[in-house]
Every structure is written in structure tokens, then in C-alpha cells.
Structure 1
């Protein structure tokens, strides 16, 4: 059977697909890490606010109150920045998913071509074998008549 003429391209497409899959996996891990960081910041802010509430009930100096509020503002800024980081990571993950899908489609196209090639080669081989069988039967028939 003749070799599939695009075999090297198929192998290359498969390698690129695997590379894209690794990139997608890494970008998904970055999304998860960013989301975990955001959750930690939000939890820390909530805990800090509860401590502030406890301190208010016990009474606190104005400077201490101001420091709590300033720190809450910094936490809010950090949370907003982390939310932006989560969105950025999600966009990169989505782009990585699109790249993987494109490469997967390319592999599927080459595999379909390979399958068609193999089927064509099998049909050719079957025809050759049938022709040889017919020729053998024809020769055998002509030899037995003599």
C-alpha cells in the first residue's frame, strides 16, 4: 500500500494539537490560581471587616478607625485588580481553547484524508488481487482445454 502523502503534515498537526492542549491546560491552571487568590482576598476582607465591627462595639480611637478604613480601601483595590486578573486569565484561556479547537479540526481533516487514502489503496489492492485471480483462472482454463 502506498504511504499517505501527507503523513508528515498529519504528525506535525498532531504535535501542534498536543502543544495547544498543554497551553490550554496551563491557562486553565492560571485561571484557577487567579480565582483562588481572589477568593482569599475576599475572605480576608470579610474577616477584616468583621474584626472592625467587633472593634467598633468595644470603642476605638479615630486614628485606629481611619487606619481600618484605609486598609479596607487597599483591600478593595487589590480585589478589583485581582478581578481584572481573573478576567484577563479567562480571556487567555478562551483564546487557548480556540487555538486547540482549530488544531483539533486540522488533525481531524488530515485524519479524514488519511482514511480516504487508505480506503482507496485497499480498493486498488483488492482490484489487483481480483485481476490476478481472474488471470490465473483464465490461464488455468486455457491450459486445461489444450
Structure 2
């Protein structure tokens, strides 16, 4: 029997889904990595603010205070940029997830078609078997009836 073309379509759909899953996993890891960098920047800023708070009440040179303030501004700028990077990574992850779900849905649709096709073939085979059984039973019935009629004539 020839190979069903739907099996080829299923194989291609499975491969596409696997590729989409790999890309989704990479996007998830990238999002986690970028988010960890953001958390590190936030932690770094918090540590520096704590240092300033610890020095409160102590005499700080104006130049050191300005330097500290500029440094905090740089960290704030880096945090802002990193927030944008994390947002982009989140959008990429969501896009990849949507794509993976589409590929998964396509694979499931092909599997459903194959299952329906197999069920229809099985039903057809059962119907043919039932028809053959009925035919055989009919033939036996007529043969017995004929044999009984033949015996009654003698």
C-alpha cells in the first residue's frame, strides 16, 4: 500500500513544531538572562544608595557627592535601557510562544485528520467483513433450505 501523504505532512509539522519549541526555549533563556542583568543593576544601585545612606551624618566632599550622584544617574540610565531590553526580550518570547502554539495546533490538526482517516478505513473494513459474514450466512441458509426441500421431495 502506498504511503499516505498526510504522514509526510505530519512529519514536517512535527519538525516545525520542534524547531519552534527550540526557538521558544532560547527566547525564554534570553529573557531570563536579560532580566537577571536588570536585577543585578537594581541591586547595584541599591548597594550604592545604601553606601550613601551609611555616610549620612558624615562629612562628604562636594566633589565626591557630585561624583556619586553622576554615577547613580548612569546606573539609572543603564536600568532604563535594560528595562527596554527586557521588554523586547519579553515581546520576542511571546512572539515565539505564539508561533510554537500555531505549529502545535497544525500538528494536532494533521494527527486528527490521520485518526479520522484511520477510523473511516476501519469502519469500512468492518462493514465489508459484516457484509461478507451476512452473505456467507445467507448462502448457508439457502443451501440448508434447498437441501431440506430436496430431501422433502423424496
Whole-angstrom CA distance in 1 between matches of 2:57 and 2:47 = 16
Deviant stretches of 4+, over 6 Å: none
**What residue ranges of structure 1 are gaps of 5+ in the alignment?**
none
1:51 aligns to what SS in structure 2? helix
Q: 2:103 matched to which residue of 1?
A: 103
Q: 2:139 matched to which residue of 1?
A: 139
The CA deviation at 1:131 is 1.8
Q: 1:67 matched to which residue of 2?
A: 67
Q: 1:90 matched to which residue of 2?
A: 90
Q: 2:76 matched to which residue of 1?
A: 76
Q: Is the 8 A contact 1:31 1:93 kept in 2?
A: yes
CA deviations over 1:76-113 (Å, ceiling 9, x no partner)? 11111110110000010010011011111111211221
The CA deviation at 1:56 is 4.1
Deviates more, 1:128-137 or 1:83-92: 128-137
Q: Calculate the TM-score normalised by the size of structure 1.
A: 0.90
Q: 1:31 matched to which residue of 2?
A: 31
1:78 aligns to what SS in structure 2? helix
Whole-angstrom CA distance in 1 between matches of 2:78 and 2:57 = 27
Q: 1:57 matched to which residue of 2?
A: 57
Whole-angstrom CA distance in 2 between matches of 1:125 and 1:105 = 30
Whole-angstrom CA distance in 2 between matches of 1:77 and 1:100 = 35
Deviates more, 1:45-54 or 1:2-11: 2-11
Whole-angstrom CA distance in 2 between matches of 1:25 and 1:67 = 42
Q: 2:7 matched to which residue of 1?
A: 7
Given the superposition, is the C-alpha separation of residues 13 and 20 from structure 1 closer, same or farther in structure 2, using an over 3 Å criterion? same
What is the RMSD computed on CA atoms of the aligned residues? 1.9
The CA deviation at 1:2 is 7.8
Q: Calculate the TM-score normalised by the size of structure 2.
A: 0.85
- From the CA coordinates, give the structure whose radius of gyration is larger: 2
The CA deviation at 1:3 is 5.6
Whole-angstrom CA distance in 2 between matches of 1:135 and 1:5 = 35
Q: Is the 8 A contact 1:2 1:121 kept in 2?
A: no
Q: 1:20 matched to which residue of 2?
A: 20
